Amino acid sequence: MTTQHFHVLLEWDPEADAWVTYVPTLNGLSTFGETKEEALANTREAILGYLEATEKEGLPQPGPAELVDLEVAVG
């Protein structure tokens, strides 16, 4: 068994009243949960499903990604 690491954006969505996650390297895979822990657990499950499906279909696995901070002057 190997371990892979994925950058996950976790943010509160007040309209949905839920925590929402996005996994940019997996075509923007997204899920949610009532708590951070639930959202992240759902994300782990979704990532595993995504990877199993790509392997089964013979599709390429995601490549490396880099998370960077970008400064933007506003106003």
Domain count, the chain: 1
What CA–CA distance (Å, rounded) separates 75 from 66? 28
What CA–CA distance (Å, rounded) separates 55 from 47? 12
Does residue 31 lie within any of the structural domains?
A: yes
The residue among 69 and 63 whose pLDDT is bigger is 69
**Residue 36's pLDDT is what?**
98
Does residue 1 lie within any of the structural domains?
A: no
Give the up-direction half-sphere exposure of residue 74: CA atoms within 13 A in the CB hemisphere: 3
Query: What is the extent of the structural domain holding 17?
Result: 10-57
pLDDT (tens digit per residue) in 1-11: 788 889 999 99
pLDDT (tens digit per residue) in 10-57: 999 999 999 999 999 999 899 999 999 999 999 999 999 999 999 999
Predicted TM-score (pTM) of this structure:
0.85
Does residue 67 lie within any of the structural domains?
A: no
Is pLDDT above 90 for 62?
A: no
Does residue 53 lie within any of the structural domains?
A: yes
